[in-house]
Amino acid sequence: MTTQFPPTPPLHPESAAFIARLTRPDAPPFYALPLSLQRRSQEKMLIEFSPALTSAATMREARMERSEADGGPLRFRCYRPQGVADDAKLPLLCWFHGGGWTVGSLAGFDAVCRELAQLSGCAVAAIGYRQAPEHKFPAATDDAFFALCWFATQAKALNIDAARLAVGGDSAGGNLATVAALRCRDAGGPSLAFQLLVYPDVDKRCNSAAHFQFADGYVLTRDLLLYFRANYLREESDCLDWRVSPLLAPSLAGLPPTLIVAASHDPLRDDGLAYGERLKAEGVAVERVEYPGMVHNFFTLGGAIPTANRAVAQAAQALRQALHPG
């Protein structure tokens, strides 16, 4: 019996061309590569397909000090838009990159962070959180919450306005962003002004229709999702913990206004839609924008998928409106 899926717009030619460039008939699946090669390959791809930046934000790399018993120090990159005085107090987006909690790096997401900072007029801090499988759940979630609290306490020294903090990320990073926002709400963390969630991974049960409709052939495969899940979780039952699957959180009320960026041909599409619907039902201001014909990861690939540049610009505009009121 053939499963009937809801109608979907055709794959965009930009996405089809990108998939064709990635496809190697005799290549082993990504998850079968050695972990070190996975990480190098992911970073190389992101850098190769990053957009050419005509006006780039400035960047400095530093680290947050933390005891080894609590997880050790965290590297981060802080971006500020060009043309802004060094001592100007800016709002901040704390950004967590995607990569299944396993791959992804500060260098690989450099271009998108520069774009977001330059176009929004905000500072952007990209966090080098601990990754799986070396560091299982809840290490990355602890790092995300720690980073938000650290920036709030160090705001004066960093010329950041602690009253205008936002959190964001893509895929697994979107998961960390909204889990950190929930922890801020419940555990006395800083008050947040905005969430930017780019195809967030919010339900690790992996059982929505889109997980099967786009299980293969659209960059992020079901096999790869399950591989990342096995890397990240201590045991399969962790997927029912709201810190892994925030869609299962008892309440989403009180979270900040949220923009969800979605791709139509993405196994995570339906989970993000359900999360947005729950946010709205519980009183959170939500905008969800779905880009037709786009695949997972498109947001960071403006050099190969021009539609990504429009999506980043739209996200930056939402940040500007939320963090530069009046």
CB 209 within 8 A of CB 269: no
Q: Is the dihedral of CA 118, 183, 171, 28 positive or negative?
A: positive
Buried b (16+ CB within 10 A) or exposed e, 51-89: beeeebbebeeeebebeeeebeebebbbbbbeebeeeeb
**171 catalytic per annotation:** yes
Q: Is the dihedral of CA 210, 215, 216, 222 positive or negative?
A: positive
Catalytic-labelled residue, pool 171, 208, 245, 264: 171
**245 catalytic per annotation:** no
Catalytic-labelled residue, pool 143, 201, 241, 266: 266
Chain mean position to CA 253: 21
**97 catalytic per annotation:** no
As annotated, the active-site residues are 171, 266, 296
